[in-house]
Amino acid sequence: MFRIMGSMTASVRPLPDFLLIGTKRGGTTSLYYDILKLPNILTLFPSARHLPKANETKGIHYFDTNYWRGERWYRSHLPSKWARQRAEQAHGGRVVVGEASPYYLFHPLAAERAVRLVPDAKLILLLRDPVMRTYSHWKERRRNNAEPLEFRAAIEAEEARLAGEAAKLKADPTYYSYAHEQQSYVAQSRYIDALMPWVERFGLDKILVLASEEYYADPSSIAQQIATFVGIDYVPVELGEHRNAAAGEALDGETQAYLQTLFAEDNARLEALIGRSLPWT
């Protein structure tokens, strides 16, 4: 009912002001629900207050896996212009809307799709130590009984699993690749390669790159940075709830060293691009 209502009123539902585009297993869920506590950031439509579910909708996944559904479907998830106006009157200042779909960063068509529809949107990335992101991604798949291979075997099998998948995604907008989204453990940790299509289309000035290690250490500071970046006043609220942690054994030293070497050049290129050091280097 709500999605039908939203689609019927799509023309009065402004597009989002910001996208939290990645990274998977980088803390995007925790960060998104934290910044939703800021009164000048609105929830997606409909709010969980009107639904029998515990949490607000986080990501729409339009620019990756749901693009075939069309723009009206995308807009159906966004608050109406009247909801924005009421919120601005209530809070006495500008309000913004955003969504968090962490596969956007890695999907080969997401940047081009996004720039065509939301060229003025601000982009936020929350990046994690690529070694630990890779391992956490695998642990999540194992926890869900979706990955039969041990960690080293899975990363060794990755190249064969992903062979040709990006080309298929580009050729067919309705194609979905489980391997590309869920078994790309190493590939999704090569941040610089995934980020460049977004930089080329949106420009670096519209992209805020954050580190999840810094977010968990000081969530209020990160929230203030985001508020400034998206153009709203920052109101102090209680932040820092850690969601979706993937429990499991610690990564062994040999594999950790192997991955650190594997990602060293990517990290150096990323730091050169954004002009600052990252906590895991």
Residues 6+ apart with CB under 8 A from 173: 67, 68, 109
Q: What is the DSSP string of 133-185?
A: HHHHHHHHHHHTT---S-HHHHHHHHHHHHTTHHHHHHH-TT---HHHHHS-T
| Encoded amino acid at 168, one letter | K
Give CA–CA dist 163/222, Å, rounded.
37
Give CA–CA dist 84/74, Å, rounded.
17
Confidence of residue 219 (pLDDT cuts 50, 70, 90): very high
**Cβ(277)–Cβ(171) below 8 Å:** no
**Cβ(182)–Cβ(64) below 8 Å:** no
Confidence of residue 246 (pLDDT cuts 50, 70, 90): low
- The average pLDDT across 185-205 equals 98
Strand ranges of the sheet holding 207-211, from the earlier edge strand across to the other edge: 41-42, 96-100, 18-22, 122-127, 207-211
- The average pLDDT across 45-52 equals 81
Q: What pLDDT is stored for residue 49 in this prediction?
A: 76
Q: What is the pLDDT of residues 124-157, one digit of tens each?
A: 999 999 999 999 999 999 999 999 999 999 999 9
What does pLDDT average to over the chain?
95
Which ranges of 19-129 does DSSP label H, i.e. alpha helix? 28-35, 71-75, 81-91, 110-117
Q: Which of 30, 26, 14 is nearest to 280 (CA)?
A: 26
Q: What pLDDT is stored for residue 55 in this prediction?
A: 87
**Cβ(74)–Cβ(60) below 8 Å:** yes
User: Please, what sign has the CA dihedral across residues 275, 279, 263, 115?
Assistant: negative
Give CA–CA dist 1/22, Å, rounded.
30
- The average pLDDT across 63-71 equals 97
Q: What pLDDT is stored for residue 247 in this prediction?
A: 65
Residues 6+ apart with CB under 8 A from 72: 7, 10
Strand partners for 42: 97
Domains of the chain by range and CATH? 2-274 (3.40.50.300)
Specify the range with the lowest mean pLDDT, choosing from 16-25, 33-42, 53-62, 164-173. 53-62
| Encoded amino acid at 18, one letter | F
3-state secondary structure of 262: helix
